[in-house]
Amino acid sequence: MGEHLKLKHALACVAIVAASACSPAVTGETSDQTSASLEPTTPASRATPSASPTRATTTATPTTQPAAATWLTVVEVVDGDTIKVQRGATTETVRLIGLDTPETKDPRKGVQCYGPEASNQAHKLLDGRDVRLEIDPSQGTVDKYGRALAYVWFGDGQLFNEVMIRAGFGREYTYDTHYRYRDRFIAAQEAARSAKAGLWKACAVTPKPDPKAEPAPKPKPKPAPKATDPRFGTCKEAIAAGYGPYQRGVDPEYDWYRDRDGDGVVCER
């Protein structure tokens, strides 16, 4: 009987030891499972993507001036629409395309209204300044007087011909055929006229109709009297043959040609 009690006591001790030996293992497993349950459950493929870096967009500023052209120094301002530049050892006279300023030195016309102001402005903007010239194939390279025909650009991208028209120091002028910047110059002239800038306020100027909106009717042919010059298709042809100019109310040839600038004279040289 005593041995039986000892055996039961020994078995109980073994059970207690076994239970205590297994307990840490269970506790560790539970801890690991608990930790695992706290980890993010979102799959990597469904993670929210980070914002991509913003790329700066650069827009190039368009320019129409001839960047490859040579810089030339203005050595003389003849008047508002004619200058002289130094090209190497040569002085070159340049007649500006699309710009007509009032005369100051033409003996046939005398000093016209706003002529001195236009000349002074040209001196102010151009004397001693470096400029670039742009040739327009539609106008040729030189006129019949040997003057180069060109647009004059400043280094800041402004076009001198247009600047003078927009400020009211000159008018848009189409000699014979449309030129590259004609629409821009007409728009500049309309802006100056609307603002009554320069000569549009100082001088009694009869506005010219916009040739795009309402073309001027061609004059009806008249029989030429015996004392008149030969008749040509255009002023350019008449001038090339050595004829002109013709004044309104004085020369019957005036009615044969279109007075583009409305000054009462056609086929001016």
Active site residues: 95, 103, 147
How far is CA 132 from each of CA 64, 68, 77, rounded to the nearest angstrom? 12, 9, 15
Residue 38 to residue 182: CA distance in whole angstroms: 77
Give the rounded distance of the alpha carbon of 106 from its chain centre.
34
DSSP state of 117: H
DSSP state of 49: P
Print burial letters for 73-93: b (CB count within 10 Å at least 16), e (below 16).
ebeebbbbbbbbbeeeeeebb
Residue 186 to residue 194: CA distance in whole angstroms: 12
How far is CA 259 from each of CA 217, 262, 267, rounded to the nearest angstrom? 12, 5, 8
